[in-house]
Copies of this chain bind each other. A is one copy, B any other.
Amino acid sequence: MTEAVTRPTLEAVAARAGVSRATVSRVVNGGDGVRERLVERVRQAVDELGYVPNQAARSLVTRRHDAVAVVIAEPETRVFADPFFALQLRGISKELTAHDSQLVLLLTEGRDDHARVGRYLAGGHVDGALVFSLHLDDALPGLIRHAGVPTVFGGRPGWSDGTHRAVYVDSDNRGGARTAVRHLVGLGRTRIAHITGALDQTSAVDRLDGFRDVMADADPRLIVEGDFSPAGGERAMRELLDRCPDLDGVFAANDITAAGALRVLRERGRRVPDDVAVIGFDDMLPVAEQTDPPLTTIRQDIEEMGRLMARLLLRRLDRRNADGEGEQAPDAGDDTAGVVLPTTLVRRASA
């Protein structure tokens, strides 16, 4: 039980291999320009001693951390009703792992936490940041720019901070919404309603815009604001049925909203899809496959979004690292403003 109270250092490995610390360092970091024989010897010493580099010491000199912060700034609700973030995290995690980078998770609980996050990012603990779920009035983008950390956003940011270009990955929310509504139209529906998401998020706004693209002259009473939650979906659906009992189609801003709507429709005796066709957005499997009837929806590849965000960030970091080492204005000439991922229609029974 006399556990390795002191972990082996470069020094120890060097001694054992009969070389200098510099050589061990070279081998540990790829081993270029070291004679094959020595590489062997060092590798063996590393194994025998169970040497693992001390990341703190390394960071101190390289100023790299091999760590990326993931900031999820969701005041409350959505995160936990929806496997959304779990999926993104999984995608991100896979990509970071493949790149030997660590994932530092920063969950914020409200405005107060933003300052803490800003401080952390400014503190130079991580090489970059992946930031989610900004709301239009969010202070975070400003803090983040101020922190000067390379950042990729999940979802198009709300630009509350001016016109600065930001790197982001988003789904084709507007195009997907158009597909959804056109599908309802193709089904012969004419009184098509839309339950929006939380309109302080660009995804909700974009989906609404997509709806309007197709239903340019829609009865305004057919649009009701929701908030991406099941309860919001229920409330909105009731309101819609009261206002427009003749509606025959509903495009809900996401699947859990649609699930809420379905319950109200059943409760009110409307058959789906016979009386009212319903379509969601996300294709969140545990939701969409479990509703009654199963939900027709617009699929977006959440995990891939996460992956791509990570990939984009890591590429920037690598480039920056290869370049003039900070001589440049950060990311000057970076023209990758946003990447938009396609969406597809998934037909099930509800529309």
Interface of A toward B, CB cutoff 8 Å: 1, 3-5, 7, 50, 52-57, 59-60, 65, 67, 70, 79-83, 85-87, 89-90, 93-94, 97, 102-107, 109, 113, 116, 119-120, 122-125, 148, 230, 256, 259-260, 263, 266, 285-286, 289-290, 292, 326, 329-330
Which of B53, B86, B125, B286 contacts A102 (CB under 8 A)?
B125
- Alpha-carbon distance between A285 and B87 when the two chains are bound, in angstroms: 19
Chain B residues near A259 (CB, 8 Å)? 290
- Alpha-carbon distance between A54 and B263 when the two chains are bound, in angstroms: 54
Let me know if B107 and A105 touch, CB within 8 A: no
Which of B80, B125, B266 contacts A55 (CB under 8 A)?
B125
- Alpha-carbon distance between A50 and B1 when the two chains are bound, in angstroms: 45
Known A-B contacts A90-B107, A104-B104, A105-B93; the reply to A263 vs B286 at CB < 8 A is no
Chain A to chain B: the 5 pairs with minimum beta-carbon distance, closest first: A56-B59, A93-B107, A81-B286, A52-B123, A80-B83
Chain B residues near A123 (CB, 8 Å)? 52-53, 55
Chain B residues near A109 (CB, 8 Å)? 94
Q: Find the B residue at minimum CB distance from A266.
A: B292
Let me know if A326 and B104 touch, CB within 8 A: no
- Alpha-carbon distance between A82 and B119 when the two chains are bound, in angstroms: 32
Chain B residues near A70 (CB, 8 Å)? 105
Smallest Cβ distance from A28 to chain B, in angstroms? Answer: 12
Chain B residues near A289 (CB, 8 Å)? 230
Chain B residues near A89 (CB, 8 Å)? 105, 107
Let me know if B52 and A56 touch, CB within 8 A: no
- Alpha-carbon distance between A122 and B54 when the two chains are bound, in angstroms: 11
- Alpha-carbon distance between A54 and B59 when the two chains are bound, in angstroms: 10
Most B C-beta atoms less than 10 A away, residue of A80, A85, A289: A80
Let me know if A4 and B105 touch, CB within 8 A: no
Let me know if A230 and B290 touch, CB within 8 A: yes
Chain B residues near A87 (CB, 8 Å)? 80
Let me know if A52 and B97 touch, CB within 8 A: no
- Alpha-carbon distance between A146 and B57 when the two chains are bound, in angstroms: 23
Chain B residues near A102 (CB, 8 Å)? 104, 120, 125
